[in-house]
């Protein structure tokens, strides 16, 4: 498992809005990500250890697009 904690620019305040928006955009494209953390500002990823490279790249492309849409 790996996670990304999102905070507001220039500080340490949790960015729950951006986390929710990214999760929603990922889900709309078929990529399941989990939100977690005390403040709901963490995105968790649990790819299988045997994930094919093409599926990993597809998931990362979806995630990149979600971040770009912010």
Domain boundaries, the chain: 2-68
Q: What does the pLDDT read at residue 1? A: 84
Q: How far apart are CA 67 and CA 52, in angstroms?
A: 23
pLDDT in tens, 14-44: 999 999 999 999 999 999 999 999 999 999 9
pTM across the whole model: 0.89
Closest CA to 35 of 62, 66, 6: 6
**Percent of the chain scoring above 70 in pLDDT:** 100
**The domain 2-68: what is its CATH number?**
3.90.1150.10
């Amino acid at each position: 498992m790996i996670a990304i904690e999102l905070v507001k620019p220039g500080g340490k305040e949790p960015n729950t809005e951006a986390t929710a928006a990214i999760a929603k955009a990922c889900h709309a494209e078929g990529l399941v990500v989990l939100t977690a953390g005390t403040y709901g500002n963490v995105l968790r990823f649990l790819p299988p250890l045997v994930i094919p490279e093409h599926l990993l790249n597809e998931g990362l492309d979806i995630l990149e697009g979600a971040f770009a849409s912010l």
